[in-house]
């Protein structure tokens, strides 16, 4: 019997270390039992997770565990040879909807093997590319396979992968580099982290494939220092691959040399842009450079370089093993393959999903994500991170592909998908994301450095109840100038949250400015709390919990809020018994 415990960052944060500490000494005394760690299978909402794999191969999954419950379930399996049916999360032959609607290629191994075991990866077909090279597979064959797959960069822009490779391959020079962009900086995004933690060898093999295609002998992984577990497992994987001879000089006698090293970034969002990333790798301040020359011509240390993100690279071993046509058969006509999304925000089942391109937003949010928390009304989804855009309910049925998403004013981005409900203020949301991009601007361009600051000042003024009649015209005008005049993708896309919310939720802006009202009741300067005397039972709980002591009254009599003292923190509404719901906001 095999027991797997989900030991990714989400699992550990939910208590997986306690489960491991409970199971490890017990399992050591059971000869017929193997205990191993695994990565994130995507069910972050159900962490901590534990799989029990019976001798006949059936997988029994359990979620929302604690240490004592996990041990009791494991002992029951061992003693009775049967699962605890009422505790099961799912069975392999009866997947819950969250997994059933997915098509897993980049995430094929995540949650299904020990990420710290080279043997486990190779048993699942890993490093099969080396055998193809020994059998005569050429760089031209690799590029042809990737071209036929239709794989586009999964880091945001969606540039055809083969085209970038081909440009670097034809450049003169003995030294070339493959760079893995693992600088995942979008708020709410954790796709790359989960792949690195759950299947690091697939990224290493993907880099090897890319290096072979362009004639590079060195690979660099630029990973943010905030991902310590990902860095640890990458290092374990590199050392194991080198020891086994599948990385290094003359790999497995193929005549191909390829080494990989890790560089840690300081978490600057702008370093997700490839030329800023290269500058950071070279020890300089992370600031974008003019293109051309492109990195494929003069990149790291002025040598031809190809930069691909983690998800792009993780797809490559599968494509080479199964053929480009197999990948192209998945997805839509213009957007091939699958895409990984991180579901976050006001959604019932937050986590990772990998779906065929062309699936609708509605299917992702409702069929896989389970819908909106507390069954509230869906309002919008932010797609593409802080540089993306907000897509309203009326567009929920559009297909998720590059063309359709771009047509909404949003972008596919790296795959962050933040869901919002009726309680979200779209003006405040635009302010939040613009504040993020403004702080992350490197300051090189006047349009980005000053334009985003002026936009932020307007949004802050609107949220504070001081909006002016011409603010929306001025906001759009500056946004378009920033978009047109910025050097890199950060500045060019920074106005997207503002422009899309102005387009789809303009009435909320107008309510803030003309009526001095926040329809979502989120902007503190534009709301007031009061107690409904018909509902208040005089329990005094709100007065006891009020941090500024602005609520007064007598027992069993309606209480009153002093609006001049009220800080609008919402504590009173949170503590008021739901059976009375006497605290009102308008």
Predicted confidence band at 105 (pLDDT cuts at 50, 70, 90)? very high
Residue written as token pair 């064959």: 141
Structure tokens at 32: 């017929």
- Asked if omega into 293 is within 30° of 0 (cis), the reply is yes
Cα–Cα nearest to 105, from 347, 398, 329? 329
Structure tokens at 98: 């969250």
Burial class (CB in 10 A: 0-12, 13-18, 19+), 199: buried
Which 8-state DSSP code applies to residue 440? H
DSSP per-residue string spanning 176-213: -EEEEEE---STT--HHHHHHHH-HHHHHHHHHHHHHH
128-136: long-range pairs with CB below 8 Å, 24+? 128/317, 128/320, 128/321, 129/205, 129/208, 129/209, 129/212, 129/317, 129/320, 129/321, 130/246, 130/251, 130/252, 130/254, 130/256, 132/320, 133/212, 133/251, 133/254, 133/256, 134/252, 134/253, 134/254
The answer to whether residues 217 and 259 touch, using CB atoms and an 8 Å cutoff, is yes
Average pLDDT score over the chain: 94
Integer Cα distance of 183 and 307 in angstroms: 12
Which 8-state DSSP code applies to residue 366? I
pLDDT of residue 94: 54
- pLDDT (mean) for 412-431: 94
pLDDT of residue 101: 82
Whether 8 has a pLDDT exceeding 90, the answer reads yes
The answer to whether residues 523 and 508 touch, using CB atoms and an 8 Å cutoff, is no
- pLDDT (mean) for 153-158: 85
DSSP per-residue string spanning 95-163: --HHHHT---STTSSTTTS-TT-HHHHHHTTTTHHHHHHHTT--HHHHHHHHHHHT-B-TTTT--BHHH
Could you report the per-residue pLDDT of 440-488, keeping only the tens digit for each?
A: 999 999 999 999 999 999 999 999 999 999 999 999 999 999 999 999 9
The answer to whether residues 265 and 254 touch, using CB atoms and an 8 Å cutoff, is no
Could you report the per-residue pLDDT of 366-382, keeping only the tens digit for each?
A: 999 999 999 999 999 99
Integer Cα distance of 549 and 571 in angstroms: 11
pLDDT of residue 504: 97
What SS3 state is found at 93?
coil
Integer Cα distance of 451 and 526 in angstroms: 26
Cα torsion 357, 361, 367, 371 to 10°: value is 150
Could you report the per-residue pLDDT of 25-60, keeping only the tens digit for each?
A: 999 999 989 999 999 999 999 999 999 999 888 889
What secondary structure, in 3-state letters, does 230-277 show?
Answer: HHHHHHHHHHHHHHHCCCECCHHHCCCCEEEEEEEECCCHHHHCHHHH
Phi-psi region of 370 (alpha: psi -120 to 50; beta: other; left: phi over 0): left
| β-sheet bridge partners, residue 263 | 222
Could you report the per-residue pLDDT of 234-247, keeping only the tens digit for each?
A: 999 999 999 999 99
Structure tokens at 265: 């970034």
Whether 397 has a pLDDT exceeding 70, the answer reads yes
Could you report the per-residue pLDDT of 174-201, keeping only the tens digit for each?
A: 899 999 999 998 888 899 999 999 999 9
Sheet with strand 50-53: strands edge to edge: 34-38, 2-6, 50-53, 59-62, 88-91
Whether 92 has a pLDDT exceeding 60, the answer reads no
Predicted confidence band at 98 (pLDDT cuts at 50, 70, 90)? confident
Could you report the per-residue pLDDT of 268-308, keeping only the tens digit for each?
A: 999 999 999 999 999 999 999 999 999 999 999 999 999 99
- pLDDT (mean) for 217-242: 97
- pLDDT (mean) for 501-521: 96
CA quadruple 114, 246, 204, 265: dihedral positive or negative? positive
Predicted confidence band at 156 (pLDDT cuts at 50, 70, 90)? confident
pLDDT of residue 95: 61
For the chain, helix (H) and strand (E) counts, in that order, are 25, 18
Whether 93 has a pLDDT exceeding 70, the answer reads no
pLDDT of residue 372: 97
First to last CA, the chain: 58
- pLDDT (mean) for 534-538: 94
What burial letters (b/e) apply to 412-443, b meaning 16+ CB within 10 Å?
bbbbbbbbbbeebbbbbbbbbbbbbbbebbbe
């Amino acid at each position: 019997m095999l027991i797997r415990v989900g030991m990714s960052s989400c699992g550990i944060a939910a208590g997986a270390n306690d489960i491991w500490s409970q199971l490890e000494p017990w399992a050591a005394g059971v000869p017929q039992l193997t205990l191993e760690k695994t990565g994130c299978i995507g069910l972050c909402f159900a962490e901590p997770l534990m799989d029990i794999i019976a001798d006949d191969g059936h997988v029994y999954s359990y979620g929302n565990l604690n240490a004592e419950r996990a041990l009791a379930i494991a002992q029951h399996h061992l003693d009775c040879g049967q699962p605890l049916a009422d505790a099961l999360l799912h069975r392999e032959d009866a997947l819950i909807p969250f997994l059933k609607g997915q098509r897993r290629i980049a995430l094929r191994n995540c949650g299904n093997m020990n990420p710290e075991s080279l043997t486990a990866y190779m048993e699942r077909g890993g490093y099969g590319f080396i055998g193809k090279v020994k059998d005569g597979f050429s760089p031209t064959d690799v590029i042809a396979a990737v071209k036929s797959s239709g794989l586009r960069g999964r880091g945001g822009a969606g540039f055809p992968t083969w085209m970038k490779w081909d440009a670097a391959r034809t450049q003169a020079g003995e030294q070339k580099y493959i760079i893995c962009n693992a600088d995942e900086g979008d708020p709410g995004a954790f796709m790359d982290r989960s792949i690195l933690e759950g299947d690091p060898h697939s990224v290493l093999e993907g880099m090897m494939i890319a290096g072979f295609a362009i004639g590079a002998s060195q690979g660099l992984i630029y990973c943010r220092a905030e991902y310590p577990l990902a860095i640890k497992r990458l290092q374990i994987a590199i050392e194991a691959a080198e020891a086994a001879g599948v990385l290094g000089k003359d790999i497995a006698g193929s005549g191909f040399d390829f080494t990989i090293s890790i560089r840690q970034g300081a978490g600057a969002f702008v370093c997700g842009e490839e030329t800023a990333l290269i500058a950071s790798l070279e020890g300089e301040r992370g600031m974008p450079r003019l293109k051309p020359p492109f990195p494929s011509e003069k990149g790291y240390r002025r040598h031809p370089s190809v930069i691909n993100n983690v998800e792009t690279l993780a797809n490559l071993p599968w494509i080479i093993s199964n053929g480009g046509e197999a990948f192209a058969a998945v997805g839509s006509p213009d957007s091939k393959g699958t895409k990984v999304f991180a579901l976050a925000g006001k959604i019932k089942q937050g986590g990772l999903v990998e779906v065929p391109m062309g699936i609708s937003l509605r299917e992702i949010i409702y069929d896989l994500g389970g819908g909106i928390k507390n069954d509230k009304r869906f309002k919008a989804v932010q797609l593409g991170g802080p540089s993306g855009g907000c897509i309203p309910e009326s567009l929920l049925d559009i297909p998720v592909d590059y063309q359709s998403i771009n047509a909404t004013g949003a972008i596919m981005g790296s795959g962050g998908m933040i869901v919002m409900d009726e309680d979200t203020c779209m003006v405040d949301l635009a302010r939040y994301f613009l504040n993020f991009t403004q702080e992350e601007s490197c300051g090189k361009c006047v349009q980005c450095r000053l334009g985003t600051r002026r936009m932020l000042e307007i949004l802050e003024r609107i949220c504070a109840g001081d909006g002016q009649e011409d603010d929306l015209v001025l906001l759009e005008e500056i946004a378009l100038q920033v978009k047109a005049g910025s050097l890199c993708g950060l500045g060019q896309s920074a106005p997207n949250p503002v422009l899309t919310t102005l387009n789809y939720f303009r009435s909320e802006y107008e309510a803030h400015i003309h009526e001095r009202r926040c329809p979502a009741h989120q902007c503190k300067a534009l709301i007031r709390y009061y107690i409904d005397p018909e509902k208040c039972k005089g329990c005094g709980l709100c007065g006891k919990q009020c941090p500024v002591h602005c609520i007064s009254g007598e027992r069993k009599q309606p209480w009153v809020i002093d609006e001049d003292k009220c800080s609008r923190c919402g504590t009173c509404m949170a503590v008021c018994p739901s059976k009375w719901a006497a605290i009102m906001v308008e």
